[in-house]
Amino acid sequence: MNIKEFLKDKQVLLLVVLLIASIGAISYLGIQQGLDLKGGSTIQLQLEQPVDTATMNTVTAVLDKRLNIFGVKDVKVYPSGNQNVIVEIAGVQPDDVTKIVGSNGKFEAKINNQTALLGSDITQVKSYQVTGNQWQVPFTVSLEGANRFAKIAQGQAGVPVEMYLDDQLITSPELSAELANGQASTDVMISGSEATKEEAQNQAKSTQTLLQSGALPVKVKIVGISSVSADLGDQFINGALIAGILALIVIAAIIIVRYRSPILVIPIMLTSIAELILVLGAAAVVHWNIDLAAIAGILAAIGTGVDDQIIITDEVLKGFQEKKRISGVRRQIKKAFFIIFASAGTLVAAMLPLAYIGFSRGATGIGILSGFAFTTILGVLIGIFITRPVYAKFVEMVLDK
């Protein structure tokens, strides 16, 4: 095989296209960093009582929606058993979101101790407004809720409307004559005042989020909070980079000692770098958070790839020792890939249960290791189907010369 045939090979062209696409995805979409790299918080919630799967799914869905409405981008919400929920928030400190996460979100408006509106009556929550230290959150209610409110409010001009959120009085504006005339209106507003404009904005944003996301089906309480600073995350990143560079240096030294040919170091290193780019590109496309566990999985996959490349190199050398050089090489490459596929199948089979349990149950330790399993499987599949076949063709061409 000459260089022209190599460059025209379909697998080589596929690798080049995927590398360009991966670099583009990384540049355009970026790589989402996990909690332990970017810094952030882990909040453990405990439900009032054990619940079934359907209720737990509702709880995690409401919390996820609530945090997304609040403006938190990198968030993971998953159950831990049947009574606990883990919330991982990258780039946000716990003080900013504990009220949002730990609140039940139950809204109730009372007039003379009669319930006039409930959270289930709310149909739309509009953008909050802040003027100075005054805030307000307008929203609309269903016609049924508006009629109930009008009936209870009729003739009650000047009576306070007590609005509660999680059984805590938020505001109690007086009924105007317009709202006490018995005419139903679907437009309602919660308002209040705080000591500073910043506090008013935070209160308005929190209230809007809770009203918009709805109430949780069970009460929750925060039982644990831990945080990772951004500085510590930077230390983790630097440590991972140093570990990766040292690993490449050691691998290069081993290859030179084994084959006594520095030229073989280049294709093995290039293949490892290509696998790294493809894994990170895939992670960028699917918005997978890269954390320490994921980095460990990438390193494990690349280490497996180096093993496979050494197997391929050994078999190619054996093939060239036969009389029919090219036919012998191709036969030995097939033997090498039989070993590689068998090894990859075993590794993937071992990782799948870990990935499944981590995704489905979300237990704290196993949930973290699901990132390791995912990136390991992804790296191995990219290697055996994309990069290692190209490496086999490349090393055949180099050793033939």
214: left (phi over 0), alpha (psi -120 to 50) or beta: left
pLDDT in the model for residue 17 = 94
pLDDT in the model for residue 300 = 84
8 A C-beta contact, residue 97 and residue 41: yes
Q: End of a domain among 99, 114, 148?
A: 99
Burial 163-200 (b: 16+ CB within 10 A, else e): bbbbeeebbeeebeeebbeeebebebebbbebeeeeeb
Q: Are residues 173 and 319 in the same domain?
A: no
Q: End of a domain among 79, 99, 119?
A: 99
Cα distances (angstroms) measured from residue 159 to each of 111, 117, 174: 7, 15, 5
- For residue 81, the Cα-to-chain-centroid distance in whole angstroms is 20
Q: Are residues 283 and 377 in the same domain?
A: yes
Note down the domain range covering 396.
Answer: 3-35+229-400
pLDDT in the model for residue 20 = 94
Q: Are residues 269 and 385 in the same domain?
A: yes
Q: Are residues 389 and 240 in the same domain?
A: yes
What is the amino acid identity at position 193?
Answer: S
Structure confidence by residue, pLDDT tens digits, 184-239: 788 888 777 888 888 888 888 888 888 887 778 888 888 888 776 666 666 767 77
Burial of 201 (0-12, 13-18, 19+ CB in 10 A): middle
Who wins on pLDDT, 361 or 118? 118
Question: If pLDDT is split at 50, 70 and 90, which confidence band does 23 have?
Answer: very high
8 A C-beta contact, residue 156 and residue 111: yes
Name which of 258-262, 277-281, 359-363 the model is least confident about: 359-363
Name which of 101-110, 158-167, 226-235, 330-339 the model is least confident about: 226-235
Q: Give dist(CA 309, CA 208) in Å, integer.
A: 56
**Mean pLDDT, to the nearest integer, of 95-101?**
75
Q: Is the pLDDT at 114 greater than 60, yes or no? A: yes
CATH code of the domain containing 91: 3.30.70.3220
With pLDDT > 70 as the criterion, what percentage of the chain qualifies? Answer: 89
The strand ranges marked E within 200-260 are 220-228
**Mean pLDDT, to the nearest integer, of 308-336?**
76
pLDDT in the model for residue 366 = 46
pLDDT in the model for residue 363 = 42
Q: Are residues 79 and 15 in the same domain?
A: no
Helix residue ranges per DSSP H, 2-52: 3-8, 10-29, 35-38
Q: Are residues 113 and 173 in the same domain?
A: yes
CATH code of the domain containing 392: 1.20.1640.10
Q: Is residue 74 part of a domain?
A: yes
pTM beyond 0.75: the answer is no
What is the amino acid identity at position 70?
Answer: F
Q: Is the pLDDT at 50 greater than 50, yes or no? A: yes
- Dihedral pair phi/psi, residue 177, rounded to 5°: -60, -30
pLDDT in the model for residue 21 = 94
What is the CA angle 26-9-284, rounded to 5? 10
Q: Is residue 203 part of a domain?
A: no
What is the amino acid identity at position 163?
Answer: M
Question: If pLDDT is split at 50, 70 and 90, which confidence band does 396 have?
Answer: confident
8 A C-beta contact, residue 302 and residue 274: no
Q: Are residues 239 and 378 in the same domain?
A: yes
pLDDT in the model for residue 281 = 92
User: Can you give the three-state secondary structure of 250-305, one letter per residue?
Assistant: HHHHHHHHHHCCHHHHHHHHHHHHHHHHHHHHHHHHCCCCECHHHHHHHHHHHHHH
Q: Please report which helix (H) or strand (E) contains residue 75, including its range.
A: strand 75-80
Q: Is the pLDDT at 362 greater than 50, yes or no? A: no
Q: Are residues 109 and 249 in the same domain?
A: no
pLDDT in the model for residue 255 = 79
Q: Is the pLDDT at 367 greater than 60, yes or no? A: no
Q: Is the pLDDT at 359 greater than 60, yes or no? A: no
Q: Are residues 61 and 9 in the same domain?
A: no
Number of separate domains in the chain: 3
Q: Please report which helix (H) or strand (E) contains residue 395, including its range.
A: helix 388-400
Q: Is the pLDDT at 289 greater than 80, yes or no? A: no
What is the amino acid identity at position 157?
Answer: A
Q: Is residue 214 part of a domain?
A: no
Q: End of a domain among 78, 99, 120?
A: 99
8 A C-beta contact, residue 394 and residue 313: no
Q: Give dist(CA 166, CA 127) in Å, integer.
A: 21
Q: Is residue 218 part of a domain?
A: no
Name which of 102-106, 262-266, 355-359, 383-387 the model is least confident about: 355-359
**Mean pLDDT, to the nearest integer, of 365-377?**
71
Q: Are residues 236 and 326 in the same domain?
A: yes
Structure confidence by residue, pLDDT tens digits, 148-176: 888 888 888 888 888 888 888 887 877 77
Q: Is residue 356 part of a domain?
A: yes
Q: Give dist(CA 247, CA 294) in Å, integer.
A: 17
Q: Are residues 294 and 396 in the same domain?
A: yes
